Amino acid sequence: MVPNNITSKLFETVKLQGILITITLLLTTTVNVFSQETEKLTVVPFKEIIIKGYTPKKDGGYVIKDHYEYIKTFDPTLRIGAFSEYKLPEIDFRKYFLLGVKLTTGGSEAPSLRMEITRDQGNILKVEVDVFESGSGYALRIGTMWVLVKRKYWEDYVDFYVN
C-alpha cells in the first residue's frame, strides 16, 4: 500500500500537469484561431473587359490562361446574327490571364455581377462574385463578367464563391 502523503503529492503533480497541458492547448488553439482571423488578404487589381455575342455553355468560373483556351471558350465560328462579325478583344496572355464567371438566373432583366479578387498569404486566389437579380420574372437570364488579371498573380488553383 502506498502511504497517503505520497498519493496526495502524486495527485497534485498530475493535476498540475493536467492544468498546464490544458492551458497549453487553449493557448495553441487561441493563437491558431487568431492567426487565421488576422491573415492578411491582398486585393488583386483587375480590368473588366466586354466580350459580346457568345457566352460559354456551362455556368461557373473560368480561368483562361492562353490563346488556345480563349478561342476554345469563345469559338468565333459559333457566332451568328448581329455578332457574326464581332472580333474577340486582343489579349496578351504573356502579361495577363482572363478570369470570368457565367451564371444563369431568373428575373425580368439580366443580373448584374460584382467581382472581388483577393490573394491570401498562401497565394491562393479567391474570387467572390455577388449576383444581383433584377425583377421577379421567370425567364432565364444570363449574367457574365470577364476580367484581366496580371500574370504575376497567376495560380494553378482559383477558388470561386458565388453569393
DSSP 10-59: HHHHHHHHHHHHHHHHHHHHHHHHHHHHT---EEPP-EEE---S---SS-
Of 120, 130, 128, the C-alpha closest to 155 is 120
pTM: 0.68
Spatial contact of 61 and 144, defined as CB atoms under 8 Å apart: no
Q: Which three cell numbers stand for residue 17?
A: 500537469
CA distance 24 to 102: 48
| pLDDT by 10-residue block (mean), the chain, 163 residues | 51 41 36 49 91 83 92 74 77 94 84 89 85 79 90 81 83
Burial-class residue 95 by CB neighbours within 10 Å (0-12, 13-18, 19+): exposed
Q: Is 115 left (phi over 0), alpha (psi -120 to 50) or beta?
A: beta
pLDDT attached to residue 99:
94
